[in-house]
């Protein structure tokens, strides 16, 4: 194998530009081959940003007075309002949305119509639905971070109640559980392994994918504990796994040798030190978490590769209003909507 393209590469902050304006909680980003972006938006839908920069919000009419909901309840505890989180594009061009605020899985059509696909599982509320992912067999995999309300209580708890589920011709079911703050999921190129972010316990794990959407051989991938809370991730074609550390606001990569490379450090070190102290003591509060963030993509939450050559990187965030972007020395892994 050739030398890792990230080994001797340094990202210059002066090479970072920005896309989009007046966005609300641009947590997840889908990049199209034609240069268009689709971005999760806290107004209940998806913001379309064309290659030329034009923006159009696709969302249902929201009659709720969101001014009555505090920032902490809406954006930190995530209670009381629609908050589209993870997105997946269907073959028909619609969007599968894990709605973090309403604890359900939805389908959003381009006309703004929303269909609730699932809001219960085995007769119980689903919990904090986080991220959907399509595979080549037409199945939808999804994660639920926790069933605790508010979800922030799960960070201080020893209980691992996150899970991975799947939706196929047989309905909806759980295929892996006892996970610590389940977040984004990604397949390797051959869909042989499913990688999962366990945010609350600060690690990446993976499962061997078997027949009938079964998961086995669970193992930690990379360090047993990362230096912050991992949130989103994406593979490049070399095999590096790029990972965002939310609140710490760092972008790292786990190499195929499972070593860690820091790509971007936008950390507020004083606030992060306080964050980590309370994490260790299991005394984290929403206000402590809210204070810890950088300036480029506050609460850096996701990474997406795009551009014609898949070497343009976009960073999603939970408190940002625009999207940082820069060029990578290596192309990203093409997701399924690039191959349809």
Query: What percent of the chain is modeled with pLDDT above 90?
Result: 88
| pLDDT for the residue 274 | 97
pLDDT score of 203 more than 80: yes
pLDDT at 78: 67
Give the burial string for 267-304 (b: 16+ CB within 10 Å, else e). Answer: bbeebbeebbebbeeeebebebbbebbbebbbbbbbbb
Mean pLDDT of all residues belonging to the chain: 94
Mean pLDDT, residues 266-291 = 95
User: How large is the average pLDDT for residues 40-52?
Assistant: 95
Exposure b/e, 182-221, CB count within 10 A at least 16 = b: bbbbbbeeeeebbbbbbbbbbbbbbbebeeebebeeeeee
Q: Quick one: average pLDDT of 3-25?
A: 96
**Sorting pLDDT into bands at 50, 70 and 90, what band is 61?**
confident
3-state helix, strand, coil in the chain (%, to 5): 15, 40, 45
CA-to-CA dists, residue 227 to 25, 230, 289, 305, 333, angstroms: 24, 9, 15, 23, 25
Q: What is the pLDDT of residues 307-334, one digit of tens each?
A: 999 999 999 999 999 999 999 999 999 9
pLDDT of 68 higher than 80: no
Is the CB of residue 243 less than 8 Å from the CB of residue 221? no
The model's pTM is 0.95
Taking each continuous run of H as one helix and of E as one strand, the counts in the chain are 3, 26
Average pLDDT over residues 175-198: 98
- Of 338 and 30, the structure prediction assigns the larger pLDDT to 30
Does position 67 have pLDDT exceeding 70, yes or no? no
Give the per-residue pLDDT at 76: 66
Give the list of residues 6+ apart from residue 288 with CB closer than 8 angstroms, or none. Answer: 274, 275, 278
Region 161-169: mean pLDDT is: 97
Please report the pLDDT score of residue 226 as a whole number. 98
Residue 110 has pLDDT above 80, yes or no: yes
- For residue 333, count CB atoms less than 10 angstroms from its CB and return exposed for 0-12, middle for 13-18, buried for 19 or more: buried
Looking at residue 340, what is its pLDDT? 76
Specify the DSSP class assigned to residue 213.
G
- Structural domains in the chain plus CATH codes: 13-338 (2.120.10.30)
pLDDT (average), residues 45-61? 95
SS3 129: strand
* pLDDT, tens only, 230-270: 999 999 999 999 999 999 999 999 999 999 999 999 999 99
Mean pLDDT of 276-299: 95
pLDDT in the model for residue 64: 52
For residue 73, is pLDDT > 90? no
The answer on pLDDT for 72 being more than 90 is no
Q: Could you tell me which residue, 339 or 337, shows the higher pLDDT?
A: 337
User: In whole angstroms, how large is the CA radius of gyration of the chain?
Assistant: 18
Is 63 a residue whose pLDDT tops 60? no
Write out the two tokens for 86. 């993870």
pLDDT for 70 equals: 65
């Amino acid at each position: 194998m050739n030398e890792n393209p990230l080994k001797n590469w340094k990202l210059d902050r002066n090479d970072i530009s920005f896309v989009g304006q007046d966005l609300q909680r641009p947590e997840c980003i889908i990049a199209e081959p034609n240069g268009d972006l689709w971005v999760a938006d806290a107004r209940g839908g998806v913001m379309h940003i064309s290659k030329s920069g034009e923006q159009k919000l696709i969302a249902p009419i929201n009659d709720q007075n969101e001014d009555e909901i505090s920032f902490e309840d809406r954006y930190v505890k995530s209670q009381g309002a629609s908050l589209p989180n993870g997105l997946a594009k269907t073959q028909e061009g619609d969007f599968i949305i894990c709605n973090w605020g309403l604890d359900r899985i939805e389908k959003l059509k381009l006309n703004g119509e929303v269909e609730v696909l699932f809001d219960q599982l085995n007769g119980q509320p689903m919990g904090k639905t986080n991220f959907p992912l399509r595979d080549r067999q037409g199945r939808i995999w999804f994660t639920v971070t926790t069933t605790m309300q508010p979800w922030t209580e799960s960070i201080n708890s020893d209980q691992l109640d996150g899970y991975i589920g799947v939706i196929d011709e047989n309905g909806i079911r759980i295929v892996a559980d006892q996970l610590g703050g389940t977040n984004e999921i990604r397949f390797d190129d051959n869909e042989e392994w499913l990688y999962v972010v366990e945010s609350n316990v600060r690690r990446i794990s993976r499962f061997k994918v078997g027949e009938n959407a079964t998961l086995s051989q669970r193992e930690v991938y990379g360090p047993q504990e990362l230096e912050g809370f991992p949130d989103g991730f994406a593979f490049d074609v070399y095999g590096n796994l790029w990972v965002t550390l939310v609140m710490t606001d760092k972008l790292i990569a786990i190499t195929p040798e499972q070593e860690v490379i820091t790509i971007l450090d936008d950390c507020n070190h004083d606030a992060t030190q306080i964050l980590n102290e309370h994490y260790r003591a299991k005394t984290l509060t929403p206000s402590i978490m809210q204070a810890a963030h950088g300036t480029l993509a506050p609460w850096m939450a996701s990474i997406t590769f795009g551009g014609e050559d898949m070497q343009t990187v976009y960073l999603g965030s939970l408190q940002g209003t625009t999207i940082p972007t820069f060029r990578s020395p290596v192309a990203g892994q093409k997701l399924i909507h690039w191959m349809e």
